[in-house]
Amino acid sequence: MRVYCEHSALHARLRGLQREGRITLVGFPYDPNSRSRPIRQLPLPSRAQIGDLNLPIGDMKFSIGEMVESDKHVEIERIIGRSNRRDVLHIDSAYRSGCVCFFTRDRGDILAKRTELESLLGIRFFHPDDDWDRFSDFLNATESGV
């Protein structure tokens, strides 16, 4: 299961699930402070600008031509708000990369709108602390085919 994780939401329990082979963590360093604990698996970036690419050029495993938005980008932007551009990029990258779950600590701009986002994208949104039990139940149900 591919799980998108914003830098601030990266939790030791998620890393543990990845080590166990239960999930694959995906994340893009759109935020300047995300370099300190990078997630190694990069998704396809959304409509990023050069200033959003907080990684060494050698780590870019994609071409500039692949940095395009998905067919849901406009709707994501409508829900999240144009002023929250990096949040939109994170969510659109998760969608483009086939992620099933999205971890964030952003209660106001993302988690407050999770119902609408989940309906639009088919991605489940979680807070790493508040929603851990709900995520565990979802992961277990997914693994057991329920």
State pLDDT tens for residues 29-75. Answer: 766 665 445 566 667 677 766 666 666 666 666 666 677 789 999 99
Distance CA 21, CA 17 (A): 6
Q: What is the dihedral of CA 135, 5, 104, 72, to 10 degrees?
A: -100
Contact assessment for residue 94 and residue 45, using Cβ atoms and an 8 Å cutoff:
no
* Dihedral pair phi/psi, residue 126, rounded to 5°: -140, 150
Distance CA 52, CA 54 (A): 6
pTM, 2 dp: 0.85
**14-31, pLDDT tens digit by residue?**
999 999 999 999 987 766
Specify the length of the chain in residues. 146
Q: State the pLDDT at residue 53.
A: 66
Residues spanned by the domain of 137: 2-144
Report the number of distinct structural domains present in the chain: 1
Tokens linked to 72:
């849901």
DSSP, res 14: H
